[in-house]
Chain A
Amino acid sequence: MVYHNHTGKFLYILIVITSICYAPVSWGGGTGKFLVLPNINGSYRSDPDEVDYEFAADLFATFELNQFRFLGEYFLSNEEQELERFQLGLSFNSNLLWLGRFHNPIGYWNTQFHHGSFFETSISRPAIVEFEDDGGILPLHQSGLLMEGAFNHGEQTLGYSMSIAAGPDFNNKLEPWDVLDPGSGTHDISTTLNLYLDPILSTSVLAGLFINYTEIPSDAIDVHDIQQINFGIYGNWESESWRLIASSFYVYNEVNRLTRSEDDTFFSAYLQAEYNHSDNWIFYGRVEGTVGEGNDAYLALFPEYVEDKILGGIRYDFVSNNALKLEISGNHTDEDDFAHVMLQWSAVF
């Protein structure tokens, strides 16, 4: 998305959501919250030899009145700006029914951290859950209906998320439906089911599984459409000093070209370990790997997809809600190997 084309729309939305959050009296006692999550990134990539930077801010607003809820997330940077989430919700008992654009409840990472860099311990996301704008290969944004909630059974909570929505189309990258430009692109069905066990009394382990089916229309010259099924498992384990996040994805794609169809599968997984040395310092590392990627017709559409990665990093939290992070990684794509050094300041206000 080009930055200048939507500046006016962005300002309009900013004013609307800020007004909503700061006018609770006129809304009959409802209350809201407005968060700003800025971040500045500097990075060095060894091959090609380049230095890059990014100034970004994630603006988040939510408002609640009785059973009704609104949630909006707008991400803007020197490279792009986009209305990432725009949801109208209805809550009943322990359930929420949403209408709008939301994050696909696929796996763990995508619905835990969203676009807020501060909430992520690391700077980078695992490649398998990279956002579409950054070369991601899975549909991480959907637009339609999302239902989520939980059932209690003793000390366990069985949580669920299920969506039926419009997914992305493909035009040299995946492009989700744009709330601010609703007529753009061609979109087809994307549906996800995510189930997880959350032992809320101890919060030490959360484990779940998910399945997603997406039909991806294509604007690329020789690809008509793509049918994709992905499923997997995930877990989050926390102790006083340690946190482990792991997930695996089994991805089946059928790439329908104008003259023939190709179907293939690949498997991807990541494991991130975090060690809280103190309240301020966190040391972390992550390994990511992909199996079966050779000659995969779908992955061939994403030459920058990082198939294997190993990284280490340090995070320093200061003045309550600020964080400095340094991350070094070794990356392998289909055609390249490169090192990546990243430095980030992030915060939440």
Chain B
Amino acid sequence: MKKKTQARILFLFIFLFQLNINSPATTPRRLLLVCDTNSNLSYLSPIETRKLFLNVPVVKSGVRLKPLRNISDPLISDIFLQKVIFMSKRSYERKLLSRIFRYGGKNIPVYSKIHKLKAELHLTPEAVTYMWSDQVENDNNLKSLGVLWEDSN
């Protein structure tokens, strides 16, 4: 290996190491269930959350909740499937399609851009979604309905 290449690799290692020690590791990452602050919702139980994202009607205080899927981060999708839905992606997609095939209606909207997801939450007080805690804490228009997952490391 040429000396120049070795130097580049060494620099990369040092850079990545610096990144790691400078990261705010003291605040564990959490995945939160969230809605708009204008919503009357204050809490959703695990069973209600699971039902909601299986596209089963969930009515709170006379209002039918509207689930929004967040696929802006692959890690969010994985955690959501493992901790809330308990299914593989394929099984989940098929379950949703199968439910529409049986009962009709519409599928759960999917958002890959966080700003569009937040915009929809602000427009729809009955909408519920999930996102990282730091994305919620920096936004005064959002409130947490519970913790879906917390990084234990």
Evaluate whether A69 and B105 lie within 8 angstroms (CB atoms) in the complex, with A94-B59, A200-B50, A200-B56 already known: yes
Q: Are B104 and A71 in contact (CB under 8 A)?
A: yes
Evaluate whether A201 and B47 lie within 8 angstroms (CB atoms) in the complex, with A91-B57, A279-B90 already known: yes
Main secondary structure of the interface of A (DSSP, over half): strand
Q: Is B103 an interface residue (CB 8 A)?
A: yes
**Given A35-B97, A112-B98, A203-B86, 15 more contacts at CB 8 Å?**
A32-B106, A35-B101, A62-B106, A64-B105, A64-B106, A94-B57, A112-B102, A114-B101, A119-B94, A119-B101, A150-B56, A200-B47, A200-B50, A200-B56, A348-B97
Instruction: Find chain A residues with CB under 8 A from B103 CB.
Output: 71, 96, 148
Q: Is B122 an interface residue (CB 8 A)?
A: no
Tell me the bound Cα distance from A119 to B106 in angstroms.
18
Which residue in chain B gives the minimum CB-CB distance to A154? Answer: B47
Q: Is A70 an interface residue (CB 8 A)?
A: yes
B16 nearest CB across to chain A (Å): 33
5 residue pairs of the A-B complex, CB under 8 angstroms, read A33-B100, A111-B102, A119-B97, A202-B86, A279-B88
A316 nearest CB across to chain B (Å): 13
Instruction: Find chain B residues with CB under 8 A from A94 CB.
Output: 56-57, 59
Instruction: Find chain B residues with CB under 8 A from A126 CB.
Output: none
For B46, B98, B104, the residue with the greatest tally of chain A CB atoms inside 10 Å of its CB is B104
B58 nearest CB across to chain A (Å): 8
Q: Is B54 an interface residue (CB 8 A)?
A: yes
- Chain B residues with a Cβ under 8 A of chain A: 46-47, 50-51, 54, 56-57, 59, 64, 86, 88, 90, 94, 97-98, 100-107
Q: Are A200 and B106 in contact (CB under 8 A)?
A: no
**Which of A62-86 touch B at CB < 8 Å?**
62-64, 69-71
Q: Are B59 and A33 in contact (CB under 8 A)?
A: no
- Chain A residues with a Cβ under 8 A of chain B: 31-33, 35, 60, 62-64, 69-71, 87, 89, 91, 93-94, 96, 111-112, 114, 116, 119, 148, 150, 152, 155, 157, 200-203, 279, 317, 320, 348
Q: Are A201 and B46 in contact (CB under 8 A)?
A: yes
Q: Are B101 and A116 in contact (CB under 8 A)?
A: yes
Tell me the bound Cα distance from A60 to B102 in angstroms.
10
B86 nearest CB across to chain A (Å): 7
Which residue in chain B gives the minimum CB-CB distance to A73? Answer: B101
Evaluate whether A69 and B104 lie within 8 angstroms (CB atoms) in the complex, with A93-B59, A202-B86 already known: yes
Which residue in chain A gives the minimum CB-CB distance to B57? Answer: A94
Instruction: Find chain B residues with CB under 8 A from A89 CB.
Output: 104
Q: Are B102 and A33 in contact (CB under 8 A)?
A: no
Q: Are A31 and B106 in contact (CB under 8 A)?
A: yes
Instruction: Find chain A residues with CB under 8 A from B56 CB.
Output: 94, 150, 200
- Choose from B54, B86, B88, B102 the contact partner of A114 (Cβ within 8 Å): B102
For B51, B86, B90, B103, the residue with the greatest tally of chain A CB atoms inside 10 Å of its CB is B103
Tell me the bound Cα distance from A63 to B94 in angstroms.
19
Instruction: Find chain B residues with CB under 8 A from A279 CB.
Output: 88, 90
Which residue in chain A gives the minimum CB-CB distance to B98? Answer: A119
Tell me the bound Cα distance from A201 to B56 in angstroms.
12
- Choose from A35, A148, A155 the contact partner of B47 (Cβ within 8 Å): A155
Q: Are B100 and A62 in contact (CB under 8 A)?
A: yes
Which residue in chain A gives the minimum CB-CB distance to B47? Answer: A201
B117 nearest CB across to chain A (Å): 17
Evaluate whether A200 and B54 lie within 8 angstroms (CB atoms) in the complex, with A33-B100, A112-B102, A116-B101 already known: yes
Tell me the bound Cα distance from A330 to B107 in angstroms.
40
